[in-house]
Amino acid sequence: MDRLRTVRSIRTHVLVFLGLILIQFWLGMTINLEVTLPSLSFGGISALTYFAAHYWQVLFHMIVAVVILAVSVRFLILSLKLKSRPLIVLGIIGLAAIVGAIYNGISFLLSNQFFGNSIGMAMSAVSSIVAYALALYYIGSMRGEDDAARI
């Protein structure tokens, strides 16, 4: 019964992730189309602090990214607990893609909004969506508790 509960928790995490990534894309497109970010001559934490303090969309985008990262880490932990090789591999791929998106997002702000970082952020996010959608498909292909026990 504990395995079935873990499988259900993993499915819930995937659904939460997919909802959050949809919000993240909406925020990213809003920032891209509606917000003119300045080019800053200073970098590092001071630049990130400036953007977070002056642009609520960027701040919210950063907060959602941290929540997505936490959901991805939790997904991987649950997959490791379940000892399901396919879910572990998908969890690692998804987490790596989210880390890549966050890296590209920070680089985007610190590099005077270099277009390549914007594309890197989006492509990393799409890669994570594919990984978690495959995980959802894998979980959905199980028929019941007996199948969940075999994951």
pLDDT tens per residue across span 34-91: 766 666 666 666 766 777 777 778 888 889 999 999 999 999 999 999 999 999 999 9
Instruction: Say how far apart CA 112 and CA 110 lie, in whole Å.
Output: 6
35: left (phi over 0), alpha (psi -120 to 50) or beta: beta
Number of C-beta neighbours around residue 117 at 10 A? 19
Its pTM stands at: 0.83
* Rg of the chain, C-alpha, whole Å: 17
17-39 per-position pLDDT tens digit = 999 999 999 988 887 777 666 66
Average pLDDT estimate for 137-145: 76
Q: How many domains are there within the chain?
A: 1
Question: Whole-angstrom Cα distance, residue 138 to residue 105?
Answer: 30
Res 145: pLDDT: 52
Which one has a higher pLDDT value, 150 or 18?
18
Structural domain boundaries enclosing 92 = 2-34+41-150
